[in-house]
Each structure stands twice: as structure tokens, then as C-alpha cells.
Amino acid sequence: MSRLPVQPTKSNLLQLRDDLDFSKTGHQLLSEKREILLMRIKSLINELIAVQTNLTAALNTGYKKLRKAILTLGWAKLEMVHIHPEGDVEIEVSEKPYLGIDLPTFSASKRSNRPSYSPAGSSSTLDEAQAAFTALIPVVVEYSQRQAQLVALSIALKKTMKRVNALENVFIPDYVDTVSYVEETLEEIEREEMYVRKLVKELKEQ
């Protein structure tokens, strides 16, 4: 702890008390924000694990159907048709406010399931493989959104914890020490003034 460089006056004491009260209120609010962020991060991690499970399952399904299509048509034929749906997927990125934090949100445009290859010479297994991988898009977008939000919340939590620690270990102790010093100094000055007044009064009476 270290005292702030202020003169021990009554006006400064009032200002110091106000600043100290404000700091304590800020510390309480930041502590509550820290706890809320911790709970949200834990919840988001669970959500991310669930989405990752869905993503893994969807990938396994997609590759299973792709292997079936390869066995049915052969790799050369599959390379020739170059499987992919028509149109590009557009990802729209926006922000959603949460406790003063801008959380990124992703949304994907709908994509056509119509194949870009000619049905002639293809197989239903190829259609199934294409549909399986097209279905992956929203799951990947959701997973990416959860990851981005987790990063944003983690950064905000780190900043919040830094501020809480600064208030707890530096700012508030310094103000408490300074307020105590000013109060004690003013009390000492008041005692000296009372002694002087008493002495002057006694001298006058004599």
C-alpha cells in the first residue's frame, strides 16, 4: 500500500471518501460481472462440446456415404463429376451485445441441394453424399460461432479479472490508507488547535 499525494484537508477527505465509495461499488459490479462471465464460459464450453459431437457424427456420416459413392461409381468417375452443390455459401457476421461485450454471431445463407453434375451416369449414393456434406454447413457455422464467442468472452474475463485485482490489491488499499492518514492528520490538527485555543483562553483569564 502507498498513500496518494494529497494535502490533508477536509475537502480532500470528502473527495477521497467519495472516490473510495465509488471504487468499492465498481469492485462489486466487476466481481459480479466476473462470476457471470465464468458461468457463461462454462455453459458455452458445454455447448461447444455438444456441437463438436454433432459435427463429428455428421462428418462420419458424410465420409461413410462418400466411401459408398466411391465404391459404386469409382474414384475416377467421382473426380470427373466434381461433386459440389450449386451456388456459394455466404456467411454473415454480426455482433450481439452481452454485458458490454460484442459477441460475434454467424449465419449462413441457404444453399441449393441441386447437384452441379448431370444425373446421367451418376448414382443415388452420390446424391446422398452431396446432401450429407451440404448438411455439414450449418453445423460448422454453429461450431465456429461458439468458438469465436468463447474467445471473446475469455478476453473479456481476463480484462475484468485484471481490473478486479487492481482494485482489490492496489487502488482500494491505497485509498483506504490515504483516507486513514488524512483523518488522523486532521484529528491531530484539531487537537492542536483546541490546545492552542485553551492556552490562549487561559492566558487571557490570567
Predicted TM-score of the model (pTM):
0.78
Give 5's contacts (C-beta < 8 A, 6+ positions apart). none
Give 153-175 pLDDT, tens digit per residue.
Answer: 999 999 999 999 999 999 999 99
Task: Give the three-class secondary structure for 96.
Answer: strand
Give 8-59 pLDDT, tens digit per residue.
Answer: 999 999 999 999 999 999 999 999 999 999 999 999 999 999 999 999 999 9
Give 50-94 pLDDT, tens digit per residue.
Answer: 999 999 999 999 999 989 988 888 877 777 765 555 556 788 899
Write down how long the chain is.
206
Is 112 a residue whose pLDDT tops 70?
no
Beta bridge partners of residue 52, listed in sequence order:
none
Check residue 88 and give its pLDDT. 67
Give 116's contacts (C-beta < 8 A, 6+ positions apart). 82, 83, 84, 85, 86
Check residue 69 and give its pLDDT. 87
Cβ burial 71-90 (10 Å sphere, 16+ → b, else e) = eebeeebbeebebebeeeee
Residue predicted with more confidence, 185 or 109: 185
- Architecture of the structural domain at 10-205: Orthogonal Bundle (1.10)
